[in-house]
Structure 1
Amino acid sequence: MMEKIILKAQNEEELKNMVSRSLTLKEDETYQVKVLKHPKKILFINIKGEYEIEIVKKSDLKSSDVKTEKPRIQNEEKIFKKEKKDVRNPNNYDSKKNNIRKNYRNESPENEEKVIQNSQDDTNIDKIRGFFKEFIVNAKLDIKIINVKKENNGKYLVILDGKDMRFLIGEKGSALNNLEYLISTTKKFKNLKISIDSNNYKEKREKSLRDLARKKGKAVLATGNAVKLNPMAARERKIIHEEISFMEGLKTESLGEEPKRYLVIRKLDEKN
């Protein structure tokens, strides 16, 4: 039996480089690629494809058999375009939403959301839930909707959970922040403030940011040297600003342009 290995790659070039590093072929050998999972790009999230690489004898293959299937990338940005198109015809949107709900429950019963009734009859909640259902189904993510509710501050909170939440959260919440921004730019939701959370991630992230602010603030007070922080979303910069304001002798400045705007923590008596 010839050797088989499993590799994960985002595109054809990356796959070829990984194969060249991983395999040592004899003169009478070549390899075949079987695509187990195609790579996908879901908005700004890249998910690697999965491939089975098998070493085979050249003599055992016909020339037409020696092919490497290209790692086709499925781009899910069309989800937002679909959503905008459907809004123009409410009947089509409602019909499509009902079909998605039916297919979603029949094909993936484990992903049915836990429906929690809201005290008020808010049509926006149903629209938001329908949009996220369509997004999850089209993106083929193992995520479920736990709840959609309107908070006292007027924001709508979407609580999600599932094995693939790490893709939506991203490094230090960057993907989550970008997703919220993209949703806010759609015609249907541009006048709504929609926040996404999972397992109290944002509360934990806020605690981490406040701890970071205090740690860096103490370093500035001890050394007198200004500290530059990594680029953050506006909501996260606000948390740092607030925490530093509680520390005497310090100030914060926002510098740079979005989305790479960052903070600098300085002593109050320091000249720029």
Structure 2
Amino acid sequence: MKYLKRLTITGRSVEEILSVFEEDYDIKKGEYDYNVVDKGSVGFLGIFARDAVVEITIKKQYYERKLQEFVKKIVSHFDPDISVKVYSKNPRVFIAKINGEGIGKIIGKHGKGLGALQHLSTIFLNRLSDTKVTVLIDAGDYREKRKELIERIVKNALEKLKKDGVKKVELDPMFAFERMLVHEILKNFKDVVSYSVGVEPYRYVVIERREKDASFKARKSRTYNNR
């Protein structure tokens, strides 16, 4: 499924349907495709008239523009010169890159401000779509710096599992891209298993020792959402 929203609209004519649709959705030509299912008919003397039917598919360009406008409106309160560039990594993942001198205020302490912006942006875009989408906000080189920190956090967690003898370690809440990075790193360690629990923006990763007894096999049979 490459589209995020598909509509079937009826009206007196194809032209009227498209005109009303563009106004209601604040959408521009080129941001949607349409297929005329039925051109409709005015009928004889207005009798036996048949409505036109149009199937409309909203394209990713619409969601990229709307997300860019949404993020820009928020960050402009911190610094009107902050630039916002939005692109889609795939049909269901949208990335907004922000740059400027004021991004530090947006990131906030421990990235909490950035996390809040990302959470709000995800909610906003999902309200426009029929399909669940993910929004990632990248501020300057913050993601790269966080990557280095995540690698240290994982290393410390693994040392704790080994030295302290605990069965599992619960990490602090993280962004979606950070959790995915944790899972990716841990794929190289066959003696542990990781999974995410909780709801955004408090979702966190649990790293658990891979036991060999039957009780672990039962736990392993559970379905984990590693996002």
Give the TM-score, by structure 2 length.
Answer: 0.54
Asked if structure 1 preserves the Cα contact closer than 8 Å seen for 2:94 and 2:136, the reply is: yes
- In structure 1, what is the Cα distance between the partners aligned to 2:99 and 2:91? 23
Alignment of 1:134 with 2:134, yes or no, is no
Change in Cα spacing, 1:253 to 1:170, as seen in structure 2 (3 Å) is: same
Q: Please list every run of 5 or more consecutive structure 2 residues that lacks an aligned counterpart in the other structure.
A: 1-22, 28-58, 217-227
Partner of 2:210: 268
Q: CA–CA distance in 2 between the matches of 1:251 and 1:232?
A: 18
* Change over 3 Å in CA distance of 1:167–1:152 after alignment to 2: same
SS in structure 2 at match of 1:151: strand
Moved over 6 A (4+): none
Q: Percent identity?
A: 23
- Pick from 242, 249, 252: which aligns with 2:191? 249
Cα distance change, pair 172–161 in 1 and its aligned pair in 2 (3 A) = same
1:106-161 residue CA offsets vs partner (Å, 9 max, x unmatched): xxxxxxxxxxxxxx993443333333333334x25354115333335653322212
Residue in structure 1 matching 2:164, options 223, 230, 247:
223
Q: Is the 8 A contact 2:197 2:203 kept in 1?
A: yes
Structure possessing the higher relative contact order (Cα contacts under 8 Å, 6 or more residues apart): 2
After superposition, residues 1-272 of structure 1 pair within 5 angstroms as 88=24, 90=26, 122-137=61-76, 139-152=77-90, 155-186=93-124, 187-188=127-128, 191=131, 192-225=133-166, 226-256=168-198, 258-269=200-211
Structure 1 position 183, deviation (Å): 1.7
Q: Deviations 1:233-270 (Å, cap 9, x if unpaired)?
A: 34422322332231132223545555434333332228
Question: Which residue type is aligned with residue 175 of structure 1?
Answer: G
Instruction: Return closer, same or farther for 1:233/1:190 CA change in 2, 3 Å cut-off.
Output: farther
Say whether the 8 Å CA contact 1:158–1:195 is kept in structure 2: yes
Please tell me whether the aligned partners of residues 183 and 189 of structure 1 are also in contact (alpha carbons under 8 angstroms): no
Structure-2 separation of matches of 1:254 and 1:195: 18
Give the paired residue count: 158
Structure 1: 5+ residue stretches without partners: 1-86, 92-119
The CA RMSD measured in Å over matched residues stands at 3.6
